[in-house]
Amino acid sequence: MSKAPRLNEILKEELAAAVSREVGLPNALITITYVECSPDLKQAHVGFSVLPDNLVGTALKHLSSATSELVRILRSRVKLRQMPHFIWEFDATEKEATRIEKLIASANEEAAE
């Protein structure tokens, strides 16, 4: 059985804790939404969302520059032979879900009239 799904969840939890406590961005909320390790466990795509939305670029730069510190923190918490290389990706799922909910609500209001 592959270790990737279990490792994905462990890395997601530990990254979320480290980002919120130790390398968070002032005046912004960064949420780790997913971690997807490659089959060989050498790379991990890490999805994040940020509030407010206008700080996406700043958050990406901040996370990229804090990657070495995050790896150091994770090495002390998660015992792996080799820590995967993190590739940061903005996850717009929540933003799109909010937009769709607003469209549905406005359509329902128009239908009620």
CA distance 35 to 33: 7
Span 67-90, mean pLDDT? Answer: 93
Q: What average pLDDT does the structure give for the chain? A: 89
Q: For 4-112, CATH number?
A: 3.30.300.20
pLDDT over 90 at 53, yes or no = no
Model pLDDT for residues 80-105, shown as the tens digit of each residue: 888 999 999 999 887 777 788 888 88
Task: Map out the domains of the chain as residue ranges.
Answer: 4-112
d(CA 45, CA 32): 11
Distances from the Cα of 57 to the Cα of 53, 60, 101, angstroms: 9, 5, 25
